[in-house]
Amino acid sequence: MIQLGSMTDKFSETGQKVVRRAIEVSKSRNHNFLSLVHTFTALTEVESDLLAEAMRAVGVDPDSVARLLDQELSESPRYAGLKMAIPEPTRDLFNRALRRARSQGRQSIESYDLLAALFTDPNAGPAEILRRLGADPAMAVDAISVAIRAREQQTLYELLRHSPQHQYILARREDASWVTFRKHAPIFKISRLTADLFNSIVTIREKGVTPSLWDTADVSLTEQERQRVEAVASSLLDKSVVKMNEATIWSRAIYPLLVLAEQGNLEAWSQLPLKAQYPAFGLEGVADGVIGHNLSGLTKSICLVVQVKRESEAQDPLVRFYSAMLAAARMNWERDNRVAHEIFGCYIIADNWTFAHGVISDVEADRPTITVASSREYGEKVEAETILRILKSITGRYSQELADAT
């Protein structure tokens, strides 16, 4: 392979294959320089299936791409220098591909990193070729990302089967990020975890609906609390909550009840970052809401994690919910080091609340265990007082524990 300066050793075997083929294409036409069109042409051969899938997804015939590339090559100028030149746009492509690889925890450029980066510059030749074929380059980038994701997912499961050290998946960040690495341990983005992946790193024990935990909440409400709960519930009666977006549901139906449940030094917050490091993996994400203590401080503790079902959510929503509870429990464990750590959660779809009681054990093991006991669903329009009683029973207990600890 020709010398690429500081980039020479930055290509994996498949990345080198693309560059070598692009050089061959250039030499066969006596062009003597490595352009984006040469690289694009090489990718149509090295990543033919992946590119064809992406092109069909944006309504482009892969054969028409090949014909237009051939036309571009036949009209290309030649470089008269002694060595093969590498123009700035090509170097930019290599740098974008390297940044993508590194964002996923890899140090070498794979062939599909080059493909993913090929159309991201809207002013470069490859993007213009797609526009001439009637396709939006931005849509092509999305289609390629989807096609690549399936391949990378398969790579993750191969790693899972063959890794004797961790028995979990070493993976990537999404085009922006779902997994990074810290000291060789994967840091998973909560919003992108799949059920299969979550099951591979955590032991999950679901006890199902356990009425005894929830229906016996012996908490009285003040007259003022009843009035405020009634105001929240009545504001929903004539509304189609299922058609509301998450922000509207949060502000009208959820957050007001969380604030009413505050006791002692506990506070209700929205959009709290979660970052937890277990021995063999880490979790990072954002809880839609929490109730906890000292949430703005360095030694925060979390009593209740709240997750709201997203309208566009593709993953199993319980995975996001359980992983958020797991992250919060580990954050608490860093403070008190209990052998088994307890955490409460609440999962909400529209105005239907489902509570969960989680116990995390084997906290210091490579594969922790989360045992979850759930409640039935509570409809806020008619059971808002019951929801608040359950919330206050949770916060009252936690607030007392904090007081006893001091």
Nearest CA-CA partner of 355 in 195, 221, 234, 216:
216
Q: Do 193 and 119 fall into the same domain? A: no
206 and 146 within one domain: no
Residue 178 belongs to some domain of the structure = no
- The answer as to whether 175 is a domain residue is no
Number of domains in the chain: 2
* Residues 6 or more apart in contact with residue 206 via CB below 8 angstroms: 371, 372, 374
Q: Is 167 among the domain residues? A: no
Token pair, residue 168, equals 């979990």
Tell whether 290 is covered by a domain: yes
Among 162, 178, 213, the domain-final residue is 162
pLDDT band at 56 (very low <50, low <70, confident <90, very high): confident
Q: What is the pLDDT of residue 157?
A: 47
Q: What integer pLDDT is reported at residue 244 of this predicted model? A: 84
Q: What's the start-to-end Cα distance of the chain, in Å?
A: 67
Looking at residue 105, its amino acid is G
pLDDT-based confidence at 352, cuts 50/70/90?
very high
Are 127 and 220 in a shared domain? no
Same domain, 195 and 150: no
- Report field, pTM of the whole predicted structure over 0.85: no
Question: Is there a single domain that holds both residue 40 and residue 110?
Answer: yes
Do both 272 and 345 map to the same domain?
Answer: yes
Q: What residues pair up with 208 in beta bridges, in sequence order?
A: 373
Do 259 and 358 belong together in one domain? yes
pLDDT, one tens digit per residue, over 74-130 is 988 888 777 888 899 999 999 999 988 887 767 889 999 999 999 999 899 999 999
The helix/strand/coil state of 182 is: strand
Residue 286 pLDDT level (bands cut at 50, 70, 90): very high
Q: Kindly state whether residues 63 and 204 are assigned to the same domain.
A: no
Domain end call among 113, 128, 162: 162
Interval 243-262: pLDDT, tens? 888 888 889 999 999 999 99
Report the distance separating Cα 384 and Cα 400, nearest Å.
24
Same domain, 155 and 231: no
Average pLDDT over residues 214-234: 90
The range of the structural domain enclosing residue 126 comes to 5-162
pLDDT at residue 159 in the model: 47
User: Is the model more confident about 153 or about 242?
Assistant: 242
Q: What is the dihedral of CA 347, 282, 340, 366, to 10 degrees?
A: 130
For residue 172, being part of any structural domain is answered with: no
Q: What is the mean pLDDT of residues 298-322?
A: 79
Residue 74 is assigned to a structural domain of this protein: yes
| Claim to verify: residue 307 and residue 400 sit in the same structural domain | yes
Residue 169 lies in a domain: no
Q: How many helices (H) and strands (E) does the chain have?
A: 14, 9
227 and 110 inside one domain: no
Q: Is residue 222 in some structural domain?
A: yes
